[in-house]
Amino acid sequence: YYYLWIVKQLNDTNLIDFNIDKTNQDYVRELSQKANFSSERLSHFRRCTNYYEYLWFGNFEVSEPTFIQIETTFKEFVNKKA
């Protein structure tokens, strides 16, 4: 749900154009072309994307300490606007 929250936020701020047919990598490419989207923020988005894909498509269970670490990464992305 954190990843969907991020995608919604990026769409709401017109940084991406959400489309059900786009892949997560399409959003990475879209953001990489935005002059007002820093390389640091893009790297952070890629990290969130990797976590999401690894957990969702890999169907892995996560320990509580690992979840807290991943959750922190997502929350930092949402709260940092640079």
Per-residue pLDDT of the chain (82 residues; tens, 9 = 90+): 999 999 999 999 999 999 999 999 999 999 999 998 999 999 999 999 999 999 988 988 899 999 999 999 999 999 986 4
**Alpha helix (H) ranges present in the chain?**
2-12, 24-32, 39-58, 64-79
Count of Cβ atoms closer than 10 Å to residue 60 Cβ: 9
- Work out the widest C-alpha separation in the chain, in whole angstroms: 37
Orientation of helix 39-58 relative to helix 2-12, angle to 10°: 140
